[in-house]
Structure formats: structure tokens, C-alpha cells
Amino acid sequence: MIKRFTTTAFALGLCMYAFAQEAPDAAIVSKIRKEGLENSKVMEISFNLTDVNGPRLSNSPGLKRAQEWAMKQLTDWGLKNAHLEAWGNFGKGWQVDKYYAATTLPYYHAIIASPKAWTPGTNGPIKSNVVLIKADSVADLARYKGKLAGKIVMMDAGAPLTSGIRPDFMRYADSTLAKMAEAKPAVAGPRGPRPGGANNAMAQMMKMREVRAAMGAMLVEEKVGLILTYARGGQGTFFTSNGASYALDAKPVSPELEVAAEDYLHILRLLRAGKPVEIEADVKTSFYDQDPQGYNVIAEIPGTDKKLKDELVMIGGHFDSWHAGTGATDNAAGSAVMMEAMRILKTLDFKPKRTIRIALWSSEEQGLFGSRGYVAKHFGDPKTMVLTPDQKKISAYYNLDNGTGKIRGVYLQGNVAAGPIFKSWLTPFADLGATTITASNTGGTDHQAFDAVGIPGFQFIQDPMDYNTRTHHSNMDTYDRLVEDDLKQAATIVASFVYNTSQRDAQIPRKELPAAPAAAATGTTAPVRN
């Protein structure tokens, strides 16, 4: 546990970084460590985001509740200008109001499942024998015409479970981190076509898509009562997804449950053996289309230096989640760490040279929409590389979005000039396991929106824990999966990085400005608006 680290270990760390190229203020680092490790509020923040406010699917009531809470909390800590800022049009919100499903034949058994996001409910309780649909082509669907109204249906498909292949829970080994540190920056170049698979495999995939699209349309036309879908996962864990579009003009779909593998395969085995299976279910969902705009939570600690106060240091994480759990590791953890970092700095009455701004993004799960909309509005368009004057005023953006694991270092996104600076800043935290700087890129998080317009954007390296095996987008993503000491460590390191960035005489070094996609294809230079 973090609290077991001794004063001697910390003093040794301070001595070691005295020889670094850009040593941070030892007294400030000591204060940040004390506040972050001994007086942390990160679990209290996480509790409010998960247990109190619940799932935070894009534009859902749960997300809006959490956003209102976050704005009030940030304001209570003394941050300024806490507000919701629209980033653009998203679409409909959605939430589960009620879910119940169970087999009643051959015996009673409650089913582990969740309605798929943006699917309708059953319009009251239903009960029917389950119809097993076997269809390898569109033509095969014809035999079910006129036979499915009000029925509960499932497809004749489902892979057997493979348990115990690898452990759920892991931390990075020293050897793995060493390999990461040795990585070279990715070489930019023209994007060629991806290696293609066999023509037969491609044809099979296209055929499958055709069958699925035709089946979906037919089931709506037939007015089926409920679809059961095989969910990825095992051991009671299932990974969820959306079953329909969130667009305001989306086509209607059928009610659909994503069913845990053990329950789905149980039903499938019975039906394949010719045994009748009866299910009762009652699903109620609600749609919200009064305000299709998406919003981010924004707040800041204003800068105080006459020359630098208009410059920015930004931190953030995505605030939205999926709906089967309460979005604890994805990404209440990252959001709570970033909020806690701001609390630490305010508690220390830090008056930064540059303005420090936190952003809690929405609709990351649908395509980094919140951060991309914000960047396009404030800093520039990556499609044209037409940039705003403010693009030059932001020193760096730091992101956290890889679960509950502690910080082990930083992905540089190829920005090797920042490496020695960050290495020095990490030195006081070597005793907490954060030592690794890698030139490698990492994707799928909101730092990419900043990196795309030439702003130094970074994601921290985190221990994997059980993020990919058990919690990411699953019904198991709950408060109990959070590791308190790891979140304390992460918030402490982030607060220190923010302090150092805000006080540094110069901004964080930048890579060469990316070319606009069209310019990259033709070899021309992208326009820049200053």
C-alpha cells in the first residue's frame, strides 16, 4: 500500500532527482505527496460518480446528474467558471427503467443480462416459448414469416466458453516496462491499404452482415416480443454495447437483451436438444430527445502571471460510461483522479502562472466526440489543419483513461523532446512505481483529439489490472473494482505534473505539426490560421 512508503525512501528519491535535467521544486512535491496520499478524497469522488449517480451513458439522466454534481463539487473547492459547455449535436439519451427476465420452463432461473443501449422495452410483461432461429442466408428467413409476433427469439449461434486461459488481474512486469522504454517513435508515412484476408473470408463477412441486416428488419416487421443476444464474456461477466443508433431519426429496432454467456448457452443447449424453454420478461427503457446537444464539464484555476496567465495547462478524462455497470474503471477512475488533482492544488492554495483547466468529456465511448468537439471549437480542425490563435497558447493536455491501475509512466506519442522533462518529473515518484517514459503512441483516448492538431497530448501508462479481462464495458465495472492506493498515487503524480507544467518558463516542446489528411495525400502544406 502507498502509505507504507517511508520517509527515507522519499528522501532518497529527492536526492536522486537533484541530478536530473529539470528538477521540480522538492518542497512543493513534498506538499503534493502529503495531501494526495494522506488526505485523499479520490474514493469519495468515485463513490459519488458511481454508486450515487449511477451509469452515465451519453445524454442520459445519469450523465446529467453526475455533471451537475461535478460542477457543484469543483465550485465548492474554489475552482472558477465551472460550467457545461456544448460541443455539438449528439442525439437521443436513453436509460433502463426496469429489467427482469427468467426462464420458467424447464424450471425457474433468473437470467443475467441487460437491455442493449438505445433499444425499446417490451411494453409490459411478456411470456413465450423461445424460438430458435437458424438462418445462414436471407432466403432462410422466409420460413419464419408470420410466426414470430410477440415471441422471444434467439439465434442458433454461441461460442463455447474457454475459461482459465490467462489471469484476470495483472500489473506490468519490470521487463515489460523496460521494453516500452526502449521503443522508438513511430515513423510517419503514407497509409497504404491494410493487408487483405482471403476473398472467401471477406465474402463470408459480407454475407453475414447482409443476413443480420435482413434479420433485424424482418424481426421489426414481425413485431417480435424480445431478442436474446449472446454477450461476450464469461463467469457471470458480460460486455455490453449498443443495439441501435442514438440518432434522432434512427430506424426502429426490436427489444433486445444482451445475455451472459452461461445463461445464453444453457438455453441454446436445451433448444438444440428439442427441449422447450419458456421465458418471462419485462423491460422498460426511456428515450430523451428534448436536448440532443452533448456537453462537457469545464472548470479552472486561473493563472496569475501577467505574461503567462492566458496560456493553458489542461487535464481531463471522459465522464460518460456504458450502462450495465456504473462505469467505475471506465472512466469514473480517470475523472475522479483528475478532479482530485485539482482539489490537491486548490487545497495547497497554489496560484499557478498558467491557467489550469479540467475537462470532463462526454460521448467518448461513441468516438471521442466531446474532446474532438471541444478541440475543433477552441484550437483547430484536424481535417483542414486550420488552427486558431489559442492553439499556440496551450502547453499540454494530460489524460487518464485506462482503468484503476496506478501510473507507471507516460506515453510520449512520439514527442521525444518531452521525454527528459517528464523523466525528471517522475523521479520523485520512483518509490511509487512510476518510472517509465516511452516514445510509443497509445490510442482510443481523448488525448488524441489534442495530438491531432499539434498540441502536446499525453496519456499516462497504467497497470492493466483486470480492466480488459473483467471490467471494461461490463456489468462488473463497479466501485468495488477500484484500487484506492492506485488512484491516490495517480492523482498525486498528475497534480505534480500539472504544477510543473504551469510553472515552467517555456511550454512543453511540440512535435512537427501534422499535415491535414488531404495535404498528406497530395504532398502539399496544410494551411495554418494564426
Grouping H, G, I as helix, E, B as strand and the rest as coil, residue 289 is coil
pLDDT classification of 71: cutoffs 50, 70, 90: very high
pLDDT in tens, 228-237: 999 999 999 9
Cα–chain center distance at 261: 24
Domain identity same for 39 and 129: no
354 and 442: one domain?
Answer: yes
Q: How far apart, in whole angstroms, are the C-alpha atoms of residue 449 and residue 462?
A: 20
Domain region containing 437: 11-90+292-522
Label residue 12 by pLDDT band (50, 70, 90): very low
Q: Please, which pLDDT band fits residue 519 given cuts at 50, 70 and 90?
A: low
298 is a domain residue: yes
Please name the amino acid found at residue 511.
Answer: K
Task: Decide which of 288, 310, 334 is a domain's last residue.
Answer: 288
CA torsion sign, 315 to 319 to 324 to 325?
positive
pLDDT tens string 255-300: 999 999 999 999 999 999 999 999 999 999 999 999 999 999 999 9
Find the Cα–Cα–Cα–Cα dihedral 218, 224, 230, 231, rounded to 10°. Answer: 100
444 and 311 in a common domain: yes
Confirm whether 352 is domain-assigned: yes
Query: How confident is the model at residue 381, as a pLDDT?
Result: 97
Residue 120: per-residue pLDDT: 98
- Residue 237 sits in a domain whose CATH number is 3.50.30.30
Cα dist from 356 to 29, 302, 497, whole Å? 17, 6, 11
Poorest-confidence range of 129-143, 234-248, 418-432?
Answer: 129-143
The answer to whether residues 344 and 211 belong to one domain is: no
Q: Is residue 453 part of a domain?
A: yes
- Assigned domain for 428 exists: yes
| Residue pointed to by grid coordinates 426502429 | 252
Residues 482 and 463 in one domain: yes
Examine the domain organization and report whether 223 and 327 are in the same domain: no
pLDDT score, position 162: 76
Q: Are residues 283 and 387 in the same domain?
A: no
- 406-426: per-residue pLDDT in tens? 999 999 999 999 999 999 999
Does residue 4 sit within a domain? no
Please indicate, yes or no, whether residues 335 and 455 belong to a single structural domain of this protein. Answer: yes
- pLDDT tens-digit profile of 450-492? 999 999 999 999 999 999 999 999 999 999 999 999 999 999 9
